[in-house]
Amino acid sequence: MELRLRGLTHLDPRAVPLPHGTEVTTRVDRVLGERRVPQGAVGRVVGSAGAELDVMLVGVGVVRYRRDELVPRKAGQVRHAERRSAAWDALRPAVVLEAVVGSRAWGLADEGSDTDRRGVFALPFLWTAGLAEPPRDLVSADGSASYWEVEKAIRQALRADPNTLELLFVPTAEARDPIGAWLLEARDAFVSSAIYGSFGRYALSQLKRLAQAQRLAEHREQVLDWLAGDPSLSLDDVARRLAAISPRAAPTEADRELQAKEHIKQLYRSLHDQGLLPARDFASLARFARGDRASLDLARDLRPKNAYNLVRLIATATRWLRDGEVELTARGELREALLAIKTGAWPLDRTIELAEAMTPELEAARLATRLPPRPDVPRAEALLRRVREEIARRHVAGEPGPLGRDAPAAPVAVWDEGDAGRAPPGGAGEEP
């Protein structure tokens, strides 16, 4: 069962934390130039500046509000924000391993680069002894720092998850507890030829998606102009127009129109995901086309930051497979190319060409690699058991520290008002 709060009456929606990505409703009017944005506008938190938050408002763009001028759009988000904040405050001292990651770790940072931190935390013994499901992730309010629980980190590393393996091997990784040092000592157990798929092939597949997103953006303005000029156009009408000018090949005219219709659907889904449409439907797209499109920005998928990281993953996988050693800091020609991609000096087409040119070397490295085909699962399991036993020992011995006598109080499982009338875990008539 999940930890449930006893209702939401004790939470002030004007004061609970609003992590990045939270959907919110504004409580005040705002005047932007000659435009008035009324209270009740819907948006999504995209940034923060001290006590103020930047909100991407549907059909408006990014507007700054004080915290008390916003409330979460949904009650469930109040609960989520409260739990996330409470977990962060309680368990941040239990972090056992931490590293600076991202561009600052890869040697690709500039003056505007963020400082991103990632790490691993351990759960105090009593947090794992009750019915309440403990948190498996800790995330700061601004999203710049995130930590995984030890078991989750180990399982991710066994799957050759790039973020987890980079955390373990990045030079900035620092153990804040002997448990963190054990993780670093055992990191070789997680390395296998599976990085070919999780790093290399994954990056290539995502670059193909970027190419598709670019095609989506090419005709975006044309579609919006059509809808702005003729509000009576239906989805089928716009699809026929788009099919007539699209260079994409198709077996029949009907197939071309079907492709165009799917293209338009992807467009309004993408704009909704960016917080620019209130719903994922054609009607919302048509209304948006007739309004102020100043807030329209480059699709998030097409931002150079995404492309350069994918190329970096291919290069990292190739060297790791070929040499048996990982190099996370970009150097030489690779660094210059990545910086050119990151700053937008290279168009996406050139970036994709580079990735395709790197593919033969990636394949050759896979065939010649001396990395084991699978990670060392017994060693990983022994590590996890050692960690669990150590946490239990500190609890029983009452040792000082966040995993011993100074551990935060464990959460208690309770039913809230939303559970009334539900069968207990396991179903009616079964043992919970």
Paired tokens of 154: 């180990």
Distances from the Cα of 377 to the Cα of 3, 58, 185, 186, angstroms: 31, 48, 15, 11
Angle at which helix 178-185 crosses helix 377-397, to 10 degrees, equals: 170
Q: What does the pLDDT average to over 213-235?
A: 83
Q: What does the pLDDT average to over 418-432?
A: 40
Q: What does the pLDDT average to over 41-62?
A: 80
pLDDT of 11 reads 54
Q: What does the pLDDT average to over 322-336?
A: 92
- Token match 């009750």: residue? 130
pLDDT of 173 reads 95
Distances from the Cα of 61 to the Cα of 34, 43, 101, 332, angstroms: 15, 9, 30, 39
Architecture of domain 23-72: Roll (2.30)
Contact predicate 141/85, CB 8 Å: yes
> Is 398 or 250 the better-scoring residue by pLDDT?
398
Q: How high is the mean pLDDT of the chain?
A: 84
**Least confident span in 191-195, 223-227, 362-366, 419-423:** 419-423
Query: How far is residue 7's CA from residue 417's CA, in Å, rounded to a whole number?
Result: 6
Q: How confident is the model at residue 269 (pLDDT cuts 50, 70, 90)?
A: confident
Query: pLDDT per residue over 397-420, tens digit each?
Result: 999 999 999 999 998 887 755 444
Question: Pick from 17, 61, 66: which is nearest to 43 by CA?
Answer: 61
pLDDT of 216 reads 66
**Least confident span in 13-27, 109-123, 295-309:** 295-309
Say yes or no to pLDDT of 59 above 80: no
Q: How confident is the model at residue 427 (pLDDT cuts 50, 70, 90)?
A: very low
Answer whether 23-72 and 83-186+375-419 agree in fold: no
Q: What does the pLDDT average to over 212-220?
A: 72
Say yes or no to pLDDT of 276 above 80: no
pLDDT of 186 reads 97
152-177 as b/e, with b when 16 or more CB fall inside 10 Å? bbbbbbbebbbebbbbbbbeebebbb
pTM of the model: 0.73
Q: How far is CA 385 from the centre of its chain?
A: 29
Q: What does the pLDDT average to over 191-203?
A: 94
Say yes or no to pLDDT of 2 above 60: no
> Is 251 or 430 the better-scoring residue by pLDDT?
251
Name, in order, each residue with C-beta under 8 angstroms of 162's C-beta and a sequence gap of 6 or more.
Answer: 195, 198, 199, 202, 313
Query: How far is residue 345's CA from residue 304's CA, in Å, rounded to a whole number?
Result: 9
Domain 83-186+375-419 indexed as CATH 3.40.30: no
Q: Spell out the domain ranges in the chain.
A: 23-72, 83-186+375-419, 195-207+302-368, 217-295
- Residue 28 is given by DSSP the state S
- Token match 């165009």: residue? 260
What is the β-pairing status of strands 145-149 and 116-121? parallel
- Token match 């994918």: residue? 310
Say yes or no to pLDDT of 431 above 50: no
Say yes or no to pLDDT of 235 above 90: yes
Q: How far is CA 230 from the centre of its chain?
A: 38
pLDDT of 249 reads 67
Supply φ then ψ for residue 82, to 5 degrees.
-65, -45
Q: How far is CA 188 from the centre of its chain?
A: 26
Question: Pick from 379, 321, 363: which is nearest to 192 by CA?
Answer: 321
Paired tokens of 312: 């970096």
> Is 131 or 421 the better-scoring residue by pLDDT?
131
Contact predicate 412/4, CB 8 Å: no
% of the chain at pLDDT higher than 70:
86
Paired tokens of 292: 């102020």
Q: What does the pLDDT average to over 293-302?
A: 52
Q: How confident is the model at residue 174 (pLDDT cuts 50, 70, 90)?
A: very high
Contact predicate 98/92, CB 8 Å: no
Name, in order, each residue with C-beta under 8 angstroms of 9's C-beta and a sequence gap of 6 or more.
Answer: none
Say yes or no to pLDDT of 36 above 50: yes
